[in-house]
Amino acid sequence: MKRGLDRHTLYELCVQSPRHAAMLLRAIHAGSPSVLREDFAGTGAVSREWIRQIRGGRAIAIDHDKATLARIGRSTRIRPIVGDVMKAPLVARADAIFVGNFSIGEIHTRGALVAYLKKCASRLARGGIFVCDTYGGQSAFKVGSVRRQHHAPGGVRVTYTWEQREADPLTAMVVNAIHFRADRAGDVVADIADAFVYHWRLWSVPELRDAMLEAGLGDAAVYNQLPDAVDSEGNAYVEPVEDPDELGESFIVCVSARRA
Ligand SMILES: C[S@@+](CC[C@H](N)C(=O)[O-])C[C@H]1O[C@@H](n2cnc3c(N)ncnc32)[C@H](O)[C@@H]1O
How many whole angstroms separate alpha carbon 30 and alpha carbon 14? 29
Between CA 120 and CA 177 the distance in angstroms is 28
CA 98, CA 120: separation in Å to the nearest integer? 10
Q: What average pLDDT does the segment 147-156 reach?
A: 94
Q: Checking DSSP bridges between strand 78-82 and strand 58-63, what pairing results, if any?
A: parallel
CA 155 / ligand 1 centre spacing (Å)? 31
3-state secondary structure 131-185: EEEEEEECCCCCCEEEEEEEEECCCEEEEEEEEEEEEECCCCEEEEEEEEEEEEC
Distance of CA 241 from the midpoint of ligand 1 (Å)? 27
Test site for ligand 1: of 40, 133, 196, most ligand atoms within 8 A of the Cβ: 40
Atom of ligand 1 nearest to the CA of 84: 20
Helical axes 110-123 vs 205-214, angle rounded to 10°: 60
Q: Whose CA is nearest to atom 22 of ligand 1?
A: 63
Distance from Cα 45 to the centre of ligand 1, integer Å: 12
Report residue 226's pLDDT band, with 50, 70 and 90 as the boundaries.
confident
Identify the band that residue 8 occupies on the pLDDT scale cut at 50, 70 and 90.
very high
> What is the pLDDT averaged over residues 149-157?
93
Q: Is the pLDDT of residue 22 over 70?
A: yes
| Rounded CA separation 184/129 (Å) | 43
What is the tens place of the pLDDT at every residue in 87-133? Answer: 999 999 999 999 999 999 999 999 999 999 999 999 999 999 999 99
Alpha helices by DSSP H, listed for 74-123, are 110-123
- Coil, strand or helix at 89: coil
Q: How confident is the model at residue 3 (pLDDT cuts 50, 70, 90)?
A: low
Alpha carbon of 132 to ligand 1 centroid (Å):
12
- The residue ranges of every structural domain in the chain are 7-137+202-258, 144-201
Answer whether residue 155 shows pLDDT above 70: yes
Task: Tell me the whole-structure pTM to 2 decimals.
Answer: 0.96
Q: Give 72 Cα–ligand 1 centroid separation in angstroms.
A: 14
In this structure, which CATH number among 3.40.920.10, 3.40.800.10, 2.40.50.140, 3.40.50.150 belongs to the domain 7-137+202-258?
3.40.50.150
**Whether pLDDT at 46 is above 50:** yes
Q: Residues lining ligand 1, judged by CB closer than 6 Å? A: 16, 40-42, 62-65, 68, 84-85, 100-101, 103, 106, 198
* Residues found in the chain: 260
Under a CB-based contact definition with an 8 Å cutoff, are residues 103 and 64 in contact?
no
pLDDT tens-digit series, residues 61-90: 999 999 999 999 999 999 999 999 999 999
Residue 232 pLDDT more than 60? Answer: yes
70 CA to centre of own chain: 18
The per-residue b/e assignment along 212-248, b for 16 or more CB within 10 angstroms, e otherwise, is beebebeebbbbbebbeeeeeeeebebeebeeeeebe
Nearest to 94 by CA among 47, 43, 48, 49: 47
Å from CA of 243 to ligand 1 middle: 31
CA neighbor of 75 nearest in space, from 108, 51, 99 = 51
> Going by CA atoms, what residue is nearest to atom 18 of ligand 1?
84
How sure is the predictor about 1, in pLDDT bands with cuts at 50, 70 and 90?
Answer: very low
